[in-house]
């Protein structure tokens, strides 16, 4: 999967998206000027290849690529706090928020949001923090499960992230090479639990560019131990494994982009992401063509199970009800 530079497709991007090796596109805030513009962009992408998966990060809180004209979603930490009040009396609201987020994304022409974040917030991570549902595995599982149910109601498959857990370290793997020195026992009792408990509700899982030296020297994205032995064979996850962006600093331990691709696929990734580095994306494409690489995941399985028209969504009383409640609570 690759990213795009602006609000519209350039000639070079049209050529790139015409290549059968490209499986999808991830959009960022720079690609969104208005809802109508976004819808047009998605239509143009699908006119090139209707099988391309169009993704975005619309988590809520500080990670919302869709803002003007869209519902202002709370962070998952805020949502979990409200849902936990009065002995979890408000927990069903998590399903409403999952439905609202997914409905607006699908109605804009996109297919998936890379959500929810299943990392535990252990009060250490600068990049996870309030993106997490919390620090207690049982609480995270219960609330995230309902959030996913809401996504599914709208027709969207969920993609949990960042396996096996990004919440235990301070550094941000976008800008640093990161190590977590906890033991396997510690991870099994905490970070791995949401991924394991929710495996059958997830269409995909995204990896973390973090190494756990006491367990395996490779970052999870390049680790057969984490992706093949644990995620596939121990947890029995059957969905699509996405790498996080291979252009992130945390993935630099893999070496050149071609070496990163080899390691990611060899470890068990089905789909790789290369963002914010067009030259690396082009180099990766040439490398994959020369070496007959093909993505091993069926991205069509992550297409929405139903279509939603924005005009119909605006008339849906549930959307009004959920937004009114959001405005009163947060």
pLDDT cut 90: percent of the chain above it: 88
Give the pLDDT score at 135: 95
Per-residue model confidence as pLDDT tens digits over 238-268 = 999 999 999 998 788 667 899 999 999 999 9
pLDDT cut 70: percent of the chain above it: 97
Query: Cα–Cα distance between 321 and 46 in angstroms, integer?
Result: 32
Per-residue model confidence as pLDDT tens digits over 1-28 = 999 999 999 999 999 999 999 999 999 9
Instruction: Kindly state the average pLDDT of the residues 31-56.
Output: 97
Per-residue model confidence as pLDDT tens digits over 185-239 = 999 999 999 999 999 999 999 999 999 999 999 999 999 999 999 999 999 999 9
Residue 175: pLDDT band (50, 70, 90) is low
Domain ranges of the chain: 76-277+293-329
Catalytic residues: 174, 244
Q: Identify the CATH number of the domain defined by range 76-277+293-329.
A: 3.20.20.300
Instruction: Kindly state the average pLDDT of the residues 113-119.
Output: 98
pTM over the 0.85 mark: yes
Residue 71 has pLDDT above 80, yes or no: yes
Per-residue model confidence as pLDDT tens digits over 91-112 = 999 999 999 999 999 999 999 9
Average pLDDT, the chain: 94
Task: Assess contact for 133 and 144: CB atoms under 8 A.
Answer: yes
Residue 168 has pLDDT above 70, yes or no: yes
The three-state (H, E, C) secondary structure of the chain, written as one string:
CECCCCCCCCHHHHHHHCCCCCCEEEECHHHCCCHHHHHHHHHHHHHHCCCCEEEECEEECCEECCCCCCCCCCCHHHHHHHHHHHHHCCCCHHHHHHHHHHHHHHHCCCCEECCCECCCCCCCCCCCHHHCCCCCHHHHHHHHHHHHHHHHHHCCCEEEEEECCCCCCCCCCCCCCEECCCCHHHHHHCCHHHHHHCHHHEEEEEECCEEECCCEEEEHHHCHHHHHHHHHHHCCCCCEEEEEECCCHHHHHHCCHHHHHHHHHHHCCCEEEECCCHHHHHHHHHHHHHCCCCCCCCHHHHCCCCCCCHHHHHHCHHHHHHHHHHHHHC
């Amino acid at each position: 999967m690759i990213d795009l530079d602006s609000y519209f497709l350039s000639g070079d991007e049209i050529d790139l998206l015409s290549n059968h090796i490209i499986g999808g596109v991830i959009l960022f805030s720079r690609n969104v000027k208005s809802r109508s513009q976004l819808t047009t962009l998605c239509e143009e992408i699908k006119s090139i290849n209707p099988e391309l998966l169009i993704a975005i990060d619309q988590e809520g809180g500080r990670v919302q690529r869709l803002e003007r004209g869209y519902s202002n979603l709370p962070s998952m930490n805020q949502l979990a706090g409200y849902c936990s009040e009065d002995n979890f009396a408000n927990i069903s609201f998590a399903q409403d928020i999952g439905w609202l987020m997914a409905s607006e994304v699908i109605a804009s022409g996109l297919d998936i949001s890379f959500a929810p974040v299943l990392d535990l917030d252990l009060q250490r991570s600068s990049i996870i923090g309030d993106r997490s549902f919390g620090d207690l595995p049982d609480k995270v599982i219960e609330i995230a499960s309902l959030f996913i149910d809401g996504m599914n109601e709208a027709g969207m498959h969920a993609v949990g992230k960042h396996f096996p857990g990004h919440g235990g370290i301070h550094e941000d793997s976008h800008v640093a090479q990161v190590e977590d020195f906890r033991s396997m026992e510690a991870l099994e009792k905490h970070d791995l639990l949401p991924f394991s408990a929710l495996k059958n509700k997830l269409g995909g899982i995204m990896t973390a560019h973090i190494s756990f030296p006491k367990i395996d020297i490779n970052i999870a994205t390049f680790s057969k131990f984490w992706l093949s032995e644990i995620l596939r064979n121990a947890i029995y996850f059957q969905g699509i494994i996405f790498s996080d962006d291979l252009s992130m600093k945390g993935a630099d331990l893999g070496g050149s982009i071609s070496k990163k691709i080899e390691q990611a696929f060899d470890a068990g990734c089905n789909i790789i992401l290369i963002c914010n580095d067009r030259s690396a994306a082009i180099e990766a494409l040439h490398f994959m063509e020369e070496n007959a690489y093909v993505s091993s995941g069926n991205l069509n399985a992550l297409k929405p199970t139903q279509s939603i028209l924005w005009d119909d969504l605006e008339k849906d009383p549930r959307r009004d009800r959920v937004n009114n409640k959001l405005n009163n609570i947060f």
